[in-house]
Structure 1
Amino acid sequence: MNGLPSRSLHPLLQILLLVGLAVAGLCLASLLALVLATSVFGLSMAQFGELATTPERVPNGWAVSMLLQGLSLAGLGAGAAVLPLVLRTRTQPAERYFAPRPLRQAWWLGAAALLILVSAPMQSALVSWNAEVHFPAFLRDFEQWARDKEDQAAALTKFLTEFTTSARLLVGLLVIAVTPAIAEELVFRGVIQRNLVRWFNSKHVGVWLTAALFSAAHLQFFGFVPRFLLGLILGYLYEWSGNILVPMAAHFTQNAFQLLLLYLAQGRQLPSSFDPDANQALPWPAVLLSTVLSAALLYTLHQRMAATPPLVADPDSTSPLR
C-alpha cells in the first residue's frame, strides 16, 4: 500500500499522530506487562500498582519493574516506527524515513560515542549547578513538588540499578541503555525534530525545540539543563548525519557509561571516594579540557558529516546543517 503522501499532512498533525500512536503503544505495552506480571510472576493488581512507588515491597519487584520499563519504551518506539509506514510514498520507502542519508562511515558511530565520553566532565558541572537551582519565592510550592518528584525518581532509579550480579547488569543495559536509545531517538529526533524543522523551516529551531521537549518529557526539573544539552548534541548529530543510528549510538553510550560506573562502584572496583550518584562537578581543569575537546570534536563531525551527499533526493528529509 502507498499510504498518504508524506507532505500531505501538516507537521503538527504528524506530531499529533505520533503522540496518538505512542499512547496506543504505551497502553498495549502496559497491558502486556500487567498480563505477564499476573500470570508469570503471580502479582495482584494492587501489587502491580505499587511498582511505581514502592517496588522493593513487591515480590520480584526488580524483574517486574524492568519488564514494565522495557515494554513501555518498546511500545513508545513501536508507535513512532508505525508513522513512516502510514506516511510512506512510492518515492520514499519507509525504511528511509529515519535515515535518508547512508551511514557511509562506520566511524561516525564511534565518534558519536566518544563525544559523549569526552563531554562527561563538562556535563558534571552542569549537573552540579542545575541540582542547586532554586525557584523564585512565588514558585516555592512548585519547587517542593518538583524536588519530591525528583527524590521519588531517584529512589526508583537506585532500586533498578542495584546490579548485584553481572546478569542484572546485562538486563539493565538492555532496558536502560539499548531500548531508550532506540525508542526515544525514533520519537524525538526521528519524528518530532524532523517535523519541527519542516514546520519552522529552520534546522536550529527544530533542534532546540526538540531538545527542550526531550528534557521536559523526563519530568526531572533539577536535571533539565544537562539533559537539554544532551538533546542538542543528539539533535545536531542527527541533522548533520541524516542517519538515526548516529544519535542512537550517542544516546546508548550516555546511558551505558553511567550504568557501568554504577556497577564498578557497587563492586568496589572504583575508589571509595567516588560516588556516581553524587551531583558533584569534576575539577575545573577537567571541565575546561572537556569543553574544548567536545567543541573540537563537534566541529570535526559537522565538517565530515555535512560533506556526505543524501541517499535520495527527498524534500522532506533531514539534510546536512551547514
Structure 2
Amino acid sequence: MATSTRRRTDGPLRSTLVAAGLAVVGLLATQFTTLPALLLDIRLATAPTETSIASRTLFFVLNFAGFVLVGAVYLVVTDRGWSYVDVRPPTRRGWAYVLLGIVASVAFYVLISVTIQLLSLPASENQVASFIGDDQTMVLVMIAIVFFFNAPAEEFLYRNIVQKRLYDAFTRLQAVAIASLVFGLIHFPVYAVSSPSLLATMVPVAVVMGGAAVFGYLYAKTDNLLVPIAAHAAFNALQFGLLYLALEYDLEEAAPAGEAILAVVTAIPL
C-alpha cells in the first residue's frame, strides 16, 4: 500500500530523475556485464573484427543482459515484482500496432537516410558496425541477436521500466517524449567518443530519439511489451538485411548509390 501512495504523490521532477537514473545505470551496467567476454578476448575492446564470431556474440548477449539486470533489480527493490512487466500475446489490435510501428520505423529510416545524403551530413559510426566489419556471417548472427536479446532487453528496461515509471507524473505522450529524449541523450557520449564533430554526434543521437519515440508510442497505446519488441526486432532485422545485401553484392564498389546505401546503414543506430 505504501508503494501505491508513493506513486500517486510522485512529482514530475522525481519521476524524471528516477527514470533518467535508470536509463544511465542501464547503459553503465553493460560495461560490467560484458567484462567476461572482454577477459576471454581482450581484442573485443580494440579490434573486434579480428575476434571469433562466438566471442562477438557473447559480448552482445552479455551487453543486453545488463539492461535486463538493471530492470530486474529495480522491480525487486521497489516491490513491483514481475507482475509489473506487461507481457501477453498481442491481440489483433496489438498486431496492427506492430505493423504500424514497422511502417513508421521504415518511413523514418528512409526520411533520415535521404536527409543525410542530400545534406551530406556526417554521422558517427555505431558500435555494432565496428563489430561486424565486412563479415556477412556476423550480420546474420546479429539478426538473431536482435530478435532474442537486443529488442527484448531494450524494450523491457527503457519502455516497461523507464517509460512506465514516468506515467506516475506525466501523461502517456509526455512520458514517451521524455523517455525518448533521455534515451537519446544517454547515447551522446557513446557516439561522441569516436565522432569527428558535434554534428556527426547529433545525427545518430537524433535518430535514436526518433526510434525510441516510435516504439514508446506503441507501448503507450497497447500496454503490451511484446508489441514494441516485435516492431523493434523487425525493423533492426531489415537494417541488417540491407547491410547483408550491400556486402553480398559489393554495392560500395558497384556504384555511388551503393556506397551511399552502405554508408547510411552503418551510420544509423541499430
| TM, length-normalised to structure 2 | 0.71
Change (3 A) 1:249 1:123: farther
Q: Distance in 1 between matches of 2:131 and 2:87?
A: 40
Displacement of 1:124 in angstroms is 1.8
Structure 1 unpaired stretches of 5+: 38-42, 134-146, 281-322
Displacement of 1:102 in angstroms is 6.6
**Amino acid across the alignment from 1:265:** A
Q: Distance in 2 between matches of 1:27 and 1:55?
A: 16
Is contact 2:173–2:220 with CA below 8 Å preserved after alignment? no
Change (3 A) 1:224 1:31: closer
Is contact 2:180–2:209 with CA below 8 Å preserved after alignment? yes
| TM, length-normalised to structure 1 | 0.61
Partner of 2:136: 164
Query: Whose Rg is larger?
Result: 1
Matches within 5 A, 1:48-59: 48=42, 50-56=43-49, 58=50
Task: Calculate percent identity across the aligned residue pairs.
Answer: 24
Displacement of 1:258 in angstroms is 0.9
Q: Distance in 2 between matches of 1:193 and 1:247?
A: 12
Task: Say whether residues 1:207 and 2:186 are aligned partners.
Answer: no
Change (3 A) 1:27 1:163: closer
Which 4+ runs in 1 deviate beyond 6 A? none
Is contact 1:163–1:169 with CA below 8 Å preserved after alignment? yes
Q: Distance in 2 between matches of 1:229 and 1:21?
A: 21
Q: Distance in 1 between matches of 2:23 and 2:88?
A: 25
Change (3 A) 1:73 1:239: same
Q: Distance in 2 between matches of 1:53 and 1:269?
A: 26
Aligned CA RMSD, in angstroms, stands at 3.5
Structure 2 unpaired stretches of 5+: 192-200, 266-270
Structure 1 SS opposite 2:178: helix
Change (3 A) 1:132 1:196: same
**Amino acid across the alignment from 1:122:** L
Partner of 2:154: 184
Question: Alignment partner for residue 67 of structure 2, among 76, 81, 101?
Answer: 76
Displacement of 1:23 in angstroms is 6.7
Q: Distance in 2 between matches of 1:127 and 1:26?
A: 30
Displacement of 1:239 in angstroms is 0.8
Change (3 A) 1:17 1:159: closer
Identify, as 1 or 2, the structure richer in helix: 2
**Amino acid across the alignment from 2:85:** F
Change (3 A) 1:16 1:216: closer
Q: Distance in 2 between matches of 1:214 and 1:5?
A: 26
